[in-house]
Structure 1
């Protein structure tokens, strides 16, 4: 059997903009390959290039340079053909505000030759109680799930989701994740951008980590952690007057971050031997509120970029 063609390919893709006389790359020589039948995540802070990448995939923007193929098509030149097999849920979209959820999805279903039944999509996304509620009256979380529903109803070969779990409570988020997995079970491929480490680690088969438009790592969440951040994170608080020199110089300490708040210092560090540091932290530094965590994808991002994930929000161009 021949190997199936990738669902999405980026080959050295660049998208360049000018702002106030200064040029910058929102997507910077990105290489990506999304395989059929997988849930692939674009993980990055605000402005990392996730939304721009999705707009290129959907044919809404042309790359400045590089090659893009989506389901074997050039998304910019063959957008009409691509629309038959791709569905996208943006972060924000205009909807018919005076229709009910059921009415809106029936209209959406009428646009496609073989749609999912609206009732099935409503149930799958936990919108049964909102079935007869007008769109204008929906909560933020319900509206977010309705946007996903409008993308799911066409049974797309490629489902593209931009920050789909924004504003959802844990129960609604789990329903959304189950709906995404169901698209895979039905033979589709899913590409999603996310700002959530938990979502990427729990839902995605593979993840590309983006920072300032560049793909800094790609692989399964477990592979990325094993390769780039096998250490654990030690998090604790000390009084602001404590001498931290011994901790900063300790051979078992790396990626130490200090945040000064309300007369105290919150410290987060990576270590391959948390047990060896606990004596120093408790006896010499008077550490409190001590937590030991696996580094996870947050640790991968910190190791590869030099920034914590939250701090990168403030240092990256909006894209």
Structure 2
């Protein structure tokens, strides 16, 4: 893809800070490209380098080495150009607390030559009922939506959102997601930093996972799941004293644990071939209360940042532990 088709480009970007015992590397040779007109997720544990990357993207920090470009501009040398086309919603920001929502957005709109309509942005962010409420009186979720609204008012070509849904109830979060999609559908590009795997899977066309300053994986959420966490977790109940060896020998089973309860044995297993397992469950074992969960993007995240997917509940993790109602825990082998 030609470079001009990328809204954001990081090439071997390194950022180091001085520390009491030598330099600290926050970003370590990061490479990523965000296509124009996509919603791109940036995921990673605390300390992975996400915030530093965002700060370099908008020109607040200069990379130690490597190249950062936003819409073809150098964010440090051409910061005014970047400000003209890029808007950021940080996790926290100061606003004029004594202004109402509509007053504040009118003030923000006055800073730009061709702003979006204030009423349009208020409606897009679901803030109609808070239109005349002072910022100091807003709930946490309303305040988050207001911060996103101040970013949207400039009609940015690139919208950067840092944990935008923090504190939002499900309805407000859905309104936010609709607003983000609408921005993408109108030709804008969105970079979304989030700890919510549901948000990333629901919204993002592609995601990059950062760990210890490096981009360790990048791609569409579904592709990453297939590549890094194809397992499914199955939870079901079988009669007590059922022979589970048939399950253990099924293709793709990587972990199995069983726990005796009143009325049966509760089993959890992880498998890369759920079809072969279902044949046993619905046939010889006569399993009931079957639940299935994909690893999803959370499984990818845990796999690539050091934690295993679908860790067993505490009662199933302790070998030889006594189960509920005095039952014994039985741990199955993995091939």
TM-score (normalizing by structure 1): 0.82
- Partners of 1:114 and 1:103 in 2: CA distance: 18
**2:12 alignment counterpart:** 12
Matches within 5 A, 1:71-110: 71-110=71-110
- Partners of 1:44 and 1:268 in 2: CA distance: 28
- Partners of 1:179 and 1:292 in 2: CA distance: 32
**1:113 alignment counterpart:** 113
- Tell whether 2:227 aligns with 1:223: no
- Whether the 8 Å contact between 2:121 and 2:153 is mirrored in structure 1 is yes
**2:27 alignment counterpart:** 27
- Partners of 2:254 and 2:110 in 1: CA distance: 57
- Partners of 1:268 and 1:63 in 2: CA distance: 47
- Partners of 1:122 and 1:30 in 2: CA distance: 37
- Whether the 8 Å contact between 2:251 and 2:276 is mirrored in structure 1 is no
Spell out, residue by residue over 1:28-60, the C-alpha distance to the aligned partner (whole angstroms, 9 max, x if none): 211000111111110222222211111110111
**2:62 alignment counterpart:** 62
- Partners of 1:197 and 1:83 in 2: CA distance: 29
Describe the shift of the 1:61–1:113 C-alpha distance in structure 2 as closer, same or farther (beyond 3 A): same
- Partners of 1:250 and 1:303 in 2: CA distance: 23
- Tell whether 2:127 aligns with 1:127: yes
- Whether the 8 Å contact between 2:43 and 2:207 is mirrored in structure 1 is yes
- Tell whether 2:204 aligns with 1:204: yes
**1:298 alignment counterpart:** 298
- Partners of 1:267 and 1:215 in 2: CA distance: 36
Describe the shift of the 1:138–1:64 C-alpha distance in structure 2 as closer, same or farther (beyond 3 A): same
- Partners of 2:305 and 2:255 in 1: CA distance: 11
**1:271 alignment counterpart:** 271
Larger-gyration structure (1/2): 2
Q: CA RMSD in A?
A: 3.5
- Whether the 8 Å contact between 1:57 and 1:70 is mirrored in structure 2 is yes
Residue 295 (structure 1) shift: 1.2
What secondary structure, in the 3-state scheme, does the structure 2 residue paired with 1:54 have? Answer: helix
- Partners of 2:57 and 2:288 in 1: CA distance: 48
- Partners of 1:26 and 1:150 in 2: CA distance: 29
Describe the shift of the 1:65–1:128 C-alpha distance in structure 2 as closer, same or farther (beyond 3 A): same
- Partners of 2:214 and 2:267 in 1: CA distance: 29
Unaligned runs of 5+ in 1: 238-245, 258-265, 282-286, 312-319
Higher relative contact order (CA 8 A, sep 6+): 1
**1:164 alignment counterpart:** 164
Spell out, residue by residue over 1:261-305, the C-alpha distance to the aligned partner (whole angstroms, 9 max, x if none): xxxxx9976411346668999xxxxx9997421111122223333
TM-score (normalizing by structure 2): 0.78
**2:315 alignment counterpart:** none
Residue 119 (structure 1) shift: 0.6
How many residue pairs match? The answer is 301
Describe the shift of the 1:69–1:277 C-alpha distance in structure 2 as closer, same or farther (beyond 3 A): same
Residue 231 (structure 1) shift: 1.9
**2:192 alignment counterpart:** 192
